[in-house]
Structure 1
């Protein structure tokens, strides 16, 4: 065997005396000297190649080569060395081709390669002076590098790459077996053969090595082409299962295995190339089709379905977190921004969200049986469902999507899309009005907070204070609302109703709140933090009216306490500035005035008139309200009456209209001693027409309240003759002396407008009328929203024009959308209309030459 050594190890040069004597003896016949010397060197090279080196004298061999180079035989020596190496390599190549077993072929090739390198190390040591002088001077390959080049040309590439192609094909076949799951025993051979191919560098002019090696020029293209074919075949095989989860699981598993193979077999330069090829074929080309697979084939809809099932149906299906995580990782390999995942995720969330209203309605209708669905219950259930849906998606986002911020934004935007979808048809089961339902939700819970037992739907979910949880959820949902101005309009409407319909002029206080914090104040504070106090300007002004009403109520109570007049009544006052309160509630406030020109004016009971006159004098005293007008509106508020029935005396709370009707039956005559005759002794009976004439109550409201006190079983204070559900013009009424209630305090609930209209009308006519009445207020709110938007767009245009003075049309639209986006999404049509309006009002004008340019002129 050839002794181990380093290719760069040095042999000590001969002493000068030896060299000198050698030179002296060779000066006579230089030609013969070369042949003799070459004979010795060639014989030594052959012995080195045959691994028989025990008898060689490296010092003598070095001296021979040294002398030949000095005698200018360096070129001939270099060529002869190349020739003898070539002859040896051609024989070894022929031997390799006789091996048919692929594993043995790989092993033999590596043996030949390693032995050749070892031989070249020793030959390089012998020809060290040739390398140092001739090779360097003539820019030839070093002897060792020449040996590698000759191995490439005479073993690997000889005869049209006969051996090289076999090596490449064999390595690819072995890797393909591994990819197919077979256990191979050639792992180390593959790695070493690839390392060998990397050392076989191409040579250019002057035999200088440069550029690509055999691995890069031959093996890599062949391997990538083979891999491409394999990846296409494998992805088709995985897709043929027609199961999305099966595809992503199989693909993920294969990719991890393939990455291990790449790292084990291949140089670092292969990883990005093969990785990109694998990602493009197995992920990029297929993943969108996998996501789009239907539920039965376990596409994205299948992976996300448990969210809806668990939230809506209350089930506990396990989430497909592992599969979603794999999906996230696969898509991340082809897109750092996860655009495809975010797009499909948004589509599915929108689709699921659009189905929620119908699913919520179905659950409520099933629970209520034949009863009509309560809008407030729907709002509560829908909002709670949406919030829970969002919470569940955040869990998936955290566990499967690595808390990716861009995915989180996509979830939020998708939620906003279906929450703010325009209600195209109110009869559509999937159509909802997000701002309105949020206001209904808040209105319900504000009222609930005043009760001793709060609603279980919030209390059971969190041990914290009921009010805190409700406000937190309300604000959370509000952040999904795009049209904040619409929410404000609905909230203002409910805010006004709560105040005007409540028994007390004071605001609602949470019974659960030990500190006694005003829930309306607390909620307004939180809304102000979220939306800004300027956007809540009208509601804040309404709240000031409420506080003022409370103060005036206290002053009035003090006044009647000190007054000697016995006929004054205690009032809980609710005084509203008509400019700040919803028009739907104050639009007809003058209809109840005692104006002589008002033919339909309301008639206050004589028992109340002294108090009304006294309060008006109090209101205008001290000239503090001289610049204001005062109107009384009986359609809101309530009255407390103490009525002595034969069975017992009851304290009855009822609406103002109903109280006015009951006062008609109060005793009017006196006994001989001056005491009032009992109302039941008078046994007064009044017809419907008489009640209508004596009160001036509008017909629709009159029938509603007569139903409340004469038809409703639990609050039948009057007897209606004949006793039917509807109220007719021919009906007559009198006190019900048999009225009884388990409690002394009785609250009379007012029949809804829809129920009253249905009972007092026949056929479609009554239903249509009831529908119109119900929608009238909503239409008024929508109208207010539209008018408010006109003003806001106008104001925004003026602000922009003041700042810019001159601006192009498109730039103005961009600025407007940017400024108003936190309030609502203005349509292009509305913007154009407002621009034209301001041009007519001479706030701005178009440029004389370019019509798409505006100038501020106000």
Structure 2
């Protein structure tokens, strides 16, 4: 044992830097041989147990006599440096002694199930040094971290080495690190940032606060990377996020003049990106952001609708009602344009600043669905959007745009359509307006017409776009048919009616229904009709022509005293004017009898010719209204600076009929969906049937629950469905 004690003393002197010769080979071999001999002696002379105890005693003596006194005499950073130095020396001592006593590890330790020599050495340090000094060590580490957070430079490698001590004494477990250092550090961190947040939230604007918060989070991540264990990163970051963001979340987002609303209003893209990055890190952070986002967008959109409503009802602009282009500027056109600009602005924020996050997309959708379904001056959003698209697509529309701009505008308009509930109503208004553009040659570009139909098919399905696609195709075929008619007249000069005639033959199922009348045409027009009938009958035998005079236009050469003027008029107007070729004066009753027009049409036509801007006819008595007692005569004194003028008919309000047609179609659609659902499910409860019906129909329109109930009752009456005998709330499909 004397050799062993001398060797331990020599090792201790070497570690402490005292003058001592290093171990030579002979000394090392002698020590190892001695221990081997002690361990291999026969029982009861085997000294393995005493050697194991002597190994631990040698370490504990070193800790008691040298390590602990050196640590007790120092504080703070100096104590940590001494700890690291002593720990490194101690590990060297353990490594050498475990080599000397290696034979114990091979047999005795395994046989007795004792701690291996190295682990036993670590346990000695933990029990004697660590348990006594851990409080001071923890306080010193947290103090240095505090200094660094306050801007001081600290010895990061030192802290890294201290953290390694906490981990290594756990012998594979991080319990000592987590309980004795990490937990107090997290608590101190929470306290530190709670104080900081309370100060910043009062002194700084939202962008300034977020800059500080983001920088602090970056510093804490960097801190973990340099000297804390990697398992601490998530806990520490979440701790800081909670104190800086979660605790003050609402107050920060709603901060006056600098919160989320102000950032959105002022277009602070960088700050919005930072806000998204920060609040996406905390639970429910983006939920509150999306709620405020929805409120703000909804408020801005609703304000636009209110402005349009006020402009529409402003008595000071009512005198402009005849100026269609200016009405568009003041009304629906500018409203839709501003909503598109609003969409571009906030969708830009969603895609760029908010990284196209699903929650923010949903928030934008919810906001737009509110104000995009409001009516203005009695006009629904579906009608306004259809009018806007019509204005973009018309030749003489007020939107002076390039082809690329038209494409983009139509695409954005269709995105607005996705927020409108009554997509079927938009489709029907669009069909009416498309018909007028095509029939009166007001469309600017056929490619644009087909483009919007493609968008409509994507939004609403082929059932809405198929008829309009047929209308566009009809016009192409009509041009070919007109060319054939002109060839026919050229080949048969005797068949020429003496008047140029252009006819568009349309497929009844594709086009909107128009009012037909038994108009008695003047002879000049009858000749044209008969000529075209002969041509058409020569090319087809199975089709019958039905003439829609209300859609026709005529160019008439009128000879006035001052000069001749070409008048572009509707067919009804032309029929009235041609009567004055054979009569100087005609009464209201005489005109009505000769043309077989209704009173409604008579008033519209005669008013446009005698009371409106162009007074082609003189009326007696001279009033602003037409009555059955009026007398009319040709106004030979009429003149105008233009050689060719268009005499418009007062527009007929077809909105009511469009809405009636759509409501009728909705009833059919609800019936079809109910039957389809019940056919697949066979039996279904009332509430489930209503919900499924709403869900499937919502892509086209937002159905009214009362209407669905009415249609269910009607289908029961018509024996498509029946109620369950035991439970009347359950419906059964009747095959």
Q: Bin the TM-score by the shorter chain.
A: 0.7 to 0.9
**Contact 1:415 / 1:480 at 8 angstroms: preserved in 2?**
no
Compared with structure 1, are the counterparts of its residues 60 and 845 closer, same or farther at alpha carbon in structure 2 (3 Å cutoff)?
same
Compared with structure 1, are the counterparts of its residues 88 and 528 closer, same or farther at alpha carbon in structure 2 (3 Å cutoff)?
closer
Which shows bigger deviation, 836-845 or 350-359?
350-359
Compared with structure 1, are the counterparts of its residues 508 and 140 closer, same or farther at alpha carbon in structure 2 (3 Å cutoff)?
same
Matched, 1:238 2:200: yes
Compared with structure 1, are the counterparts of its residues 367 and 498 closer, same or farther at alpha carbon in structure 2 (3 Å cutoff)?
farther
1:170-228 per-position Cα deviation (integer Å, ceiling 9, x unaligned): 11111122223x21333222211111121222xxxxxxx67444222311211121122
For 2:263, which of 271, 292, 303 is the aligned residue? Answer: 303
Aligned to 1:639, what secondary structure does the other structure show?
A: strand
Matched, 1:445 2:392: yes
**Structure 1 length as normaliser, TM-score?**
0.72
Aligned to 2:153, what secondary structure does the other structure show?
A: coil
Q: CA deviation at 1:323?
A: 1.6
Aligned to 1:742, what secondary structure does the other structure show?
A: coil
Matched, 1:218 2:180: yes
Distance 1:376 1:563 in 2: 50
Matched, 1:332 2:247: no
Matched, 1:283 2:245: yes
Partner of 1:816: 693
Partner of 1:646: 561
**Contact 1:419 / 1:480 at 8 angstroms: preserved in 2?**
no
Partner of 1:13: none
Partner of 2:303: 355
CA RMSD across the alignment: 4.4
Q: CA deviation at 1:651?
A: 1.6
Partner of 1:417: 369
1:78-110 per-position Cα deviation (integer Å, ceiling 9, x unaligned): 33443454344234424423324x222222222
Partner of 2:383: 436
Distance 1:559 1:808 in 2: 67
Q: CA deviation at 1:691?
A: 6.1
Matched, 1:96 2:71: yes
Compared with structure 1, are the counterparts of its residues 549 and 82 closer, same or farther at alpha carbon in structure 2 (3 Å cutoff)?
closer
Partner of 2:156: 187
Compared with structure 1, are the counterparts of its residues 186 and 326 closer, same or farther at alpha carbon in structure 2 (3 Å cutoff)?
same
Distance 2:316 2:32 in 1: 105
Matched, 1:175 2:145: yes
Partner of 1:381: 334
Aligned to 2:699, what secondary structure does the other structure show?
A: coil
1:379-430 per-position Cα deviation (integer Å, ceiling 9, x unaligned): 433344444444444544444334x463685377347524652x3x5448xx
Which shows bigger deviation, 107-116 or 333-342?
333-342
Distance 2:371 2:541 in 1: 46
**Contact 1:619 / 1:625 at 8 angstroms: preserved in 2?**
no
Distance 2:456 2:173 in 1: 69
Larger Rg: 1
Aligned to 1:108, what secondary structure does the other structure show?
A: helix
Distance 1:360 1:86 in 2: 89
**Contact 1:349 / 1:414 at 8 angstroms: preserved in 2?**
no
**Contact 2:383 / 2:429 at 8 angstroms: preserved in 1?**
yes
1:353-403 per-position Cα deviation (integer Å, ceiling 9, x unaligned): 33333456789999989735625874433344444444444544444334x
Compared with structure 1, are the counterparts of its residues 41 and 291 closer, same or farther at alpha carbon in structure 2 (3 Å cutoff)?
same
Which shows bigger deviation, 699-708 or 192-201?
699-708
1:692-733 per-position Cα deviation (integer Å, ceiling 9, x unaligned): 7776655565455444333445x2323456656555777665
Q: CA deviation at 1:826?
A: 3.1
**Contact 1:41 / 1:64 at 8 angstroms: preserved in 2?**
no
Compared with structure 1, are the counterparts of its residues 536 and 51 closer, same or farther at alpha carbon in structure 2 (3 Å cutoff)?
closer
**Contact 1:397 / 1:407 at 8 angstroms: preserved in 2?**
no
Matched, 1:108 2:57: no
1:249-289 per-position Cα deviation (integer Å, ceiling 9, x unaligned): 22111101110011111111111222232333333444454
Compared with structure 1, are the counterparts of its residues 376 and 791 closer, same or farther at alpha carbon in structure 2 (3 Å cutoff)?
farther
**Contact 1:174 / 1:184 at 8 angstroms: preserved in 2?**
no
Matched, 1:749 2:648: yes
Partner of 1:371: 320
Partner of 2:433: 494
Compared with structure 1, are the counterparts of its residues 709 and 168 closer, same or farther at alpha carbon in structure 2 (3 Å cutoff)?
same
Partner of 1:74: 48
For 2:127, which of 133, 139, 153 is the aligned residue? Answer: 153
Distance 2:631 2:660 in 1: 41
**Contact 2:94 / 2:118 at 8 angstroms: preserved in 1?**
yes
1:106-145 alignment, distance < 5 Å: 106-145=80-119
1:115-150 per-position Cα deviation (integer Å, ceiling 9, x unaligned): 322333333333334444443433333444333322
1:303-343 per-position Cα deviation (integer Å, ceiling 9, x unaligned): 2224xxxxxxxxxxxx4222222222223333699655555
Which shows bigger deviation, 57-66 or 486-495?
57-66
**Contact 2:694 / 2:703 at 8 angstroms: preserved in 1?**
yes
Aligned length: 720
**Contact 2:437 / 2:443 at 8 angstroms: preserved in 1?**
no
- For structure 1, the 5+ residue unaligned runs are 1-33, 202-208, 307-318, 594-601, 669-683, 754-773
Distance 2:4 2:485 in 1: 134
**Contact 1:38 / 1:77 at 8 angstroms: preserved in 2?**
no
**Contact 1:376 / 1:444 at 8 angstroms: preserved in 2?**
no
Q: CA deviation at 1:649?
A: 1.6
Aligned to 1:458, what secondary structure does the other structure show?
A: coil
Compared with structure 1, are the counterparts of its residues 304 and 560 closer, same or farther at alpha carbon in structure 2 (3 Å cutoff)?
same
Aligned to 1:641, what secondary structure does the other structure show?
A: strand
Distance 2:174 2:452 in 1: 73
Which shows bigger deviation, 704-713 or 169-178?
704-713
Matched, 1:270 2:232: yes
Distance 2:543 2:74 in 1: 116
Distance 1:359 1:407 in 2: 29
1:772-802 per-position Cα deviation (integer Å, ceiling 9, x unaligned): xx5xx32322222221111012112223333
Partner of 2:714: 837
Which shows bigger deviation, 252-261 or 696-705?
696-705
Q: CA deviation at 1:567?
A: 8.4
Distance 2:342 2:72 in 1: 69
1:572-651 alignment, distance < 5 Å: 572-573=502-503, 582=512, 585-586=514-515, 589=516, 592-593=517-518, 604=520, 607=523, 611=527, 614=530, 635-651=550-566
Which shows bigger deviation, 345-354 or 523-532?
523-532
Aligned to 2:712, what secondary structure does the other structure show?
A: helix
**Contact 2:485 / 2:535 at 8 angstroms: preserved in 1?**
no
**Contact 2:308 / 2:376 at 8 angstroms: preserved in 1?**
no
Partner of 1:17: none
**Structure 2 length as normaliser, TM-score?**
0.83
